């Protein structure tokens, strides 16, 4: 910078000496102008860096916040993934345990079924034996009642049956055999012996019938116990199957939750890495820019200090004082009369002014024609010096404008792109939030519809169950009443038939009266007993059909309730996920709006600075090249005019 000052001082000295002006004064003026300009540029640079530093701080804070929030979300997602994987392992073990329990119940049911099959087979064999024994006793009694007139073959058959039946006691078998061996055609003897044997046979028959009834009762009890056990095990298996299904659904949901969390973790990690890279680049760039700024400020301060010292030195008595003594301020004035050279110079300047449309040359042509010769030469020299200074200053200003405009254009384009990107992101987030809100509303409405449907189905099921229960109870009550009536009638008819047959068989010598047992009204096809049996069958069918209908309706309601619960759980889960996503997007939208506002402020500042640059750097009227060319033409014209006046070669 000092070398440049000395160069300007030399140039000024070359021109000013001829004009009679002290060059020291002009150098001091130039250096003071440089000092003023340096101070202004230093201040402008400080203002610009302050804005840049604010952007660095704001961007760093924003990115640090984004990185921190992303890492917190990554921790939450990692925990969710671990929790879902743990839940999947736990549910897998629980499902395996339920499968094992189901296998145990099924095995127990199979074992009980096999035991029941064996009991049933034994029952049928034993029951057949008892029935055969009763038939044997009945047949033996019938043979005995035939008396001495019975055929020998029939007696032998009765003897064989009684002797072969292991359930007949030895006492009864001995009495029967003794009776057969000593049997005689004497009626009195027959009556005496047969009475005791018949009583014994009746006792045996009653005993066999009682034992058969006991066997039937035990069989019914075992059957009921088996059915209750089988039903209990079936219910347990059904409940455990339902439990297994619920756990499988929960496991599938947790697997899906884990997969979603992994996907979101990958996206969040990528976003965090991008933010971290941008943050690192920003911090590095801002640090480098800060170092450059400090170095530039030190250089500018050093330049101002050097200029100040140079002004102090040049303004001292050693320089400025001696210049005042030895360098005259003005050249001697010549005659005011215009010489031929003045006329020639004035005409030359006028012609050049018309060619280049220069107001400066036009004004100078007038001055050359009117002012004294000495003053005219000084005026031309001063004007040449001033034009050269303007050219130098404009060149410096042009470089400064190009730099500022270039940097401003980059800033404007960058901030405009950021504003457009943030605006598009905000619009996308707003649309996504609106869509999620609609999805949540739809899911909520779906859940409400499911709840209403389940409530209505429950009310219908309760009413239907109450109605079916009442119908079954009525059918059971009616069946019991009809069965009781049938028992009374059948017992009466059986006793009546038996009594008639007994009397008829015991009075063979009496006059003939009846040739068939008493049957009562049941002998007719439309008798009361037949009608009651049909009615009993109808009530039994009503009970069975109603119970079957109730079981089917209960099963359908159970399936509907389960499906509705699964659907509601899925909708609730979807609604919860949508609500969480909506909350996260709302947070992102709020941050995006903050970023957009800050970026818009920076863009507005860049636009305002561009508007400040335009008057001096963009809208200067004639373009820079034309101005330079015109100024060079003016300087050349002035030099030629000065040559005309002085006769010297510039």
Who's near 615: CB < 8 A, 6+ residues apart?
A: none
Q: Which two tokens stand for residue 420?
A: 């457009």
| Binned average pLDDT, 10 residues per bin, the chain of 650 residues | 37 41 58 79 84 87 91 92 93 93 93 92 91 84 64 52 57 54 43 62 85 92 92 92 92 92 92 90 87 81 74 61 46 44 64 66 59 59 69 69 80 87 89 90 89 88 88 79 71 57 41 43 47 68 83 87 88 89 89 90 87 70 62 71 59
Distances (CA, A) of 290 to 279, 294, 602: 16, 6, 19
Residue 494 structural domain: 437-502+524-618
319 in a domain, yes or no? no
Residue-by-residue DSSP string for 466-533: HHHHHHHHHHHHHHHHHHHHHHHHHHHHHHHHHHHHHHHHH-TTSPP--SS---GGGGSTT-HHHHHH
> What confidence score (pLDDT) does residue 76 get?
93
> What confidence score (pLDDT) does residue 621 get?
47
d(C-alpha 12, C-alpha 389), whole Å = 10
Residue range 210-250, pLDDT digits in tens: 989 999 999 999 999 999 999 999 999 999 999 999 999 99
Q: What is the pTM of this model?
A: 0.37
550 in a domain, yes or no? yes
142 in a domain, yes or no? no
> What confidence score (pLDDT) does residue 135 get?
86
242 in a domain, yes or no? no
Residue range 389-428, pLDDT digits in tens: 666 666 666 677 778 778 888 888 888 888 898 899 889 8
d(C-alpha 537, C-alpha 67), whole Å = 82
Helix (H, G, I), strand (E, B) or coil at 414: helix
Distances (CA, A) of 170 to 117, 161, 173, 203, 211: 34, 14, 5, 14, 18
> What confidence score (pLDDT) does residue 7 get?
37
> What confidence score (pLDDT) does residue 483 get?
75
480 in a domain, yes or no? yes
CATH number at residue 552: 1.10.287
125 in a domain, yes or no? no
d(C-alpha 595, C-alpha 419), whole Å = 9
d(C-alpha 101, C-alpha 107), whole Å = 10
Residue range 145-170, pLDDT digits in tens: 775 444 444 555 555 555 565 555 56
609 in a domain, yes or no? yes
Specify whether the CB–CB gap between 582 and 440 falls below 8 A.
yes
Structural domain count, the chain: 1
Q: Which two tokens stand for residue 565?
A: 């619960």
> What confidence score (pLDDT) does residue 92 get?
94
332 in a domain, yes or no? no
């Amino acid at each position: 910078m000092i070398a440049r000052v000395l160069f300007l001082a030399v140039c000024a000295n070359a021109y000013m000496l001829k004009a009679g002006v002290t060059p020291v004064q002009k150098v001091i003026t130039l250096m003071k102008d440089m000092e003023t300009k340096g101070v202004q540029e230093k201040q402008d640079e400080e203002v610009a860096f302050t804005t840049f530093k604010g952007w660095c701080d704001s961007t760093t804070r924003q990115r640090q916040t984004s990185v921190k929030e992303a890492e917190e979300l990554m921790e939450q997602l990692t925990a969710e993934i671990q929790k879902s994987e743990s839940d999947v392992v736990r549910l897998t073990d629980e499902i395996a345990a339920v499968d094992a329990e189901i296998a145990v119940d099924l095995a127990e049911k199979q074992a009980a079924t096999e035991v029941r099959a064996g009991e049933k087979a034994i029952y049928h064999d034993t029951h057949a034996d008892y029935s055969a024994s009763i038939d044997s006793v009945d047949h033996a009694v019938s043979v005995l009642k035939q008396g001495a007139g019975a055929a020998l073959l029939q007696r032998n058959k009765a003897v064989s049956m009684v002797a072969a039946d292991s359930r007949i006691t030895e006492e009864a078998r001995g009495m029967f055999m003794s009776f057969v061996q000593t049997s005689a055609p004497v009626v009195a003897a027959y009556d005496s012996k047969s009475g005791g044997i018949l009583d014994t046979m009746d006792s045996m028959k009653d005993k066999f019938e009682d034992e058969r009834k006991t066997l039937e009762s035990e069989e019914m009890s075992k059957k009921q116990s088996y059915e209750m056990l089988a039903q209990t095990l079936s219910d347990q298996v059904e409940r455990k199957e339902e439990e297994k299904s619920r756990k499988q659904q929960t496991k599938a949901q947790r697997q899906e939750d884990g997969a979603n969390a992994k996907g979101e973790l990958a996206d969040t990690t990528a976003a965090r890495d991008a933010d971290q890279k941008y943050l690192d680049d920003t911090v590095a760039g801002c640090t480098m820019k800060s170092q450059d700024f400090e170095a530039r400020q030190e250089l500018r301060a050093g330049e101002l200090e050097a200029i100040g010292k140079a002004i102090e030195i040049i303004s001292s008595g050693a320089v400025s004082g001696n210049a005042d003594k030895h360098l005259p301020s003005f050249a001697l004035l010549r005659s005011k009369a215009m010489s031929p050279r003045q006329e020639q110079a004035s005409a030359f300047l006028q012609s050049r002014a018309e060619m280049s449309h220069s107001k400066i040359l036009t004004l100078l042509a007038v001055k050359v024609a009117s002012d004294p010769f000495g003053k005219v030469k000084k005026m031309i020299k001063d004007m040449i010096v001033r034009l050269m200074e303007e050219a130098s200053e404009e060149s410096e200003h042009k470089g400064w404008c190009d730099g500022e405009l270039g940097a401003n254009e980059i800033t404007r384009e960058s901030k405009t792109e950021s504003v457009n990107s943030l605006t598009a992101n905000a619009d996308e987030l707003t649309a996504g939030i609106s869509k999620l809100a609609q999805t949540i509303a739809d899911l909520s409405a779906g859940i409400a519809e499911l709840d209403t449907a389940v409530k209505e189905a429950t009310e219908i099921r309760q009413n239907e169950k109450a109605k079916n229960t009442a119908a079954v109870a009525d059918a059971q009550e009616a069946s019991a009443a009809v069965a009781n009536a049938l028992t009374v009638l059948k017992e009466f008819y059986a006793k009546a038939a038996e009594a008639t047959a007994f009397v008829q068989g015991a009075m063979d010598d009496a006059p003939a009266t009846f040739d068939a047992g008493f049957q009562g009204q049941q002998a007719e096809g439309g008798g009361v007993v037949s009608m009651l049996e049909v009615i009993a069958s109808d009530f039994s069918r009503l009970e069975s059909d109603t119970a079957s209908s109730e079981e089917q309706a209960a099963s359908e309601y159970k399936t509907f309730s389960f499906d509705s619960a699964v659907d509601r759980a899925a909708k609730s889960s979807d609604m919860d996920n949508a609500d969480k996503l909506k909350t996260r997007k709302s947070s992102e939208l709020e941050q995006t709006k903050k970023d957009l506002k800050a970026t818009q402020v920076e863009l507005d500042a860049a636009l305002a600075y561009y508007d400040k640059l335009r008057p001096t750097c963009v809208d200067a009227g004639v373009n820079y090249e034309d101005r330079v060319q015109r100024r060079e033409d003016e300087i050349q014209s002035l030099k030629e005019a000065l040559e005309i006046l002085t006769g010297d070669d510039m």
